[in-house]
Structure 1
Amino acid sequence: QLLTTDHGFDTATEIIELGIEKDFKDCMYTTKNVFQKLRKQFPEQAQYVVNFAYNYPYFMHFNLREATHLIELRTVPQGHPDYRKVAQQMYVAMSKRHPTLSKIMKYVDLNQYELERFESEKRTEEKRRKA
């Protein structure tokens, strides 16, 4: 399936806090307009215009071991907020459908964090300076 602008985009809280929401949305709408023009005649090439802030649908097929690995890995505080949210939703859905099986997932973090990756990077930099 080709990348498109059909599924919209989310505006990160940080974009709003930095005061660049208008610039961000202008960029997103410009991207969509250019994409729509190119798509009519060049659908495959048009996907190169779509920036990574747009939402992309995807399907995943995996077994319980793979699901456990993915969900535990992607719900850590340092994970990207978008990946964390999806992985957390996957865990909640699995817990409802297969409560017994989902109990093997021991390291799923359902808490919400802001800029945790930034804090992790700061700690790493402090360690590097001390060394």
Structure 2
Amino acid sequence: VVPSTPHPPSPIRSGVTLVEYDPDAEAKVVAAILYPHSALTLAEVRAIAAALPADERLAIIRAYVGERGSRFHKPGRAFETPVYTFDILADIGAYRDLQRHRIQTQERQRYSVRHGYLTPPELEDYGLAAPYRAALESAAALAEQLAADLPDAAQYAVPLAFRVRWRITINLRAAFHLAELRSAPQGHPAYRQIAQQIAAHIREVHPTLAEGMRYVDMADYALERLDAERRLDAKLSRA
């Protein structure tokens, strides 16, 4: 394998950029809530919703979302009206986990080594970072050699620690599901950070609509699966 240019490790923080959203989404959601209960055209209902004071729109949205006793209590179809597009740069492993969410559009760029790789801090703590990096650099050299003639096949030689760029276009109802599920404490830190950033972006541009997104866990955990494993051990001990 020919030597390659070293590929610097990337910080563990993933990058999520909100590229596109509808600034009129709040009024359109209120219109979608009211529409089934009227005999007016959608355009007429939207005009009424746009003219409502902010406090009345908030009251309608709160009544529609309800108490949400758990993350399984999702808002209704009206929350499928707003759509958001995110550009994401994260490790391939996180992409493969989030790729499984189907009610959205996802499209990635080719797997490569150009964006660097992620080094888990635990490897630094235990003195294992050097052999880890050596293995990734060796794999990167092979991937680059293959890419010269076989760019598609070369993707199979790229370890999951390297980063990939992809886009997600998702409606608000599906974003509730993704952000609340994938930010759960037992999740992997890489995709938890993506879920947290998606929620933070939506809260920034649409705070009223995101108010009901109550089950996004924004905390960091050193041993994210520890509590889940303890519960499993307790369950097995009772069996």
Structure 1 and Structure 2 fold alike (TM over 0.5): yes
CA distance in structure 1 between the partners assigned to 2:216 and 2:207 by the alignment: 14
Q: CA RMSD in A?
A: 1.3
Residue 60 (str. 1) matches residue 168 (str. 2):
yes
Find the aligned partners of 2:222 and 2:171 in 1 and give their Cα distance.
31
Partner of 1:123: 231
State whether residues 110 and 164 of structure 2, in contact with CA within 8 Å, keep that contact through their aligned partners in structure 1. no
TM-score by length of 1: 0.93
Please give the alpha-carbon distance, in whole angstroms, between the structure 2 residues aligned to 1:122 and 1:9: 31
Query: Equivalents in 2 of 1:96, 1:53: separation in Å?
Result: 30
What pairs up with 1:15-94 in 2 under 5 angstroms? 15-94=123-202
Partner of 1:62, secondary structure, is: strand
Give distance in 1, aligned partners of 2:177 and 2:128.
36
Which has the larger share of strand? Answer: 2
When the two structures are aligned, how many residues end up with a matched partner?
131
- State the match for 1:99 in structure 2: 207
- Shift, 1:67, TM fit: 0.4
For the Cα contact (< 8 Å) 2:202–2:210, is it kept in 1? yes
TM-score, normalising length: structure 2: 0.52
Percent identity, please.
Answer: 37
Higher helix share: 1
Q: Which residue of 2 aligns with 1:9?
A: 117
Structure 2 unaligned regions, length at least 5 = 1-108
Partner Cα distance (1:106, 1:71) in 2: 10
Relative to structure 1, is the Cα distance of residues 83 and 39 closer, same or farther in structure 2, using a 3 angstrom cutoff? same
Provide Cα deviations, 1:39-98, integer angstroms capped at 9, x if missing partner: 001101100000111111111111100000000001110111001111111111111111
Residue 91 of structure 2 aligns with which residue? none
Q: Deviations over 1:1-22 (max 9, x none)?
A: 3211111111111212232101
Answer whether contact 2:142 2:157 (CA < 8 A) is retained.
yes
Q: Provide the rounded CA distance (Å) in 2 between the counterparts of 1:39 and 1:100.
A: 47
Distance of 1:24 and 1:112 partners within structure 2: 24
Partner amino acid, structure 2, of 1:107: Y
Task: Identify which of structures 1 and 2 has the higher relative contact order when contacts are C-alpha pairs closer than 8 Å and 6+ apart.
Answer: 2
CA deviation after TM superposition for structure 1 residue 104, in Å: 1.8
Q: Name which one, 1 or 2, has greater alpha-carbon Rg.
A: 2
C-alpha distance in 1 between matches for 2:190 and 2:147 = 27
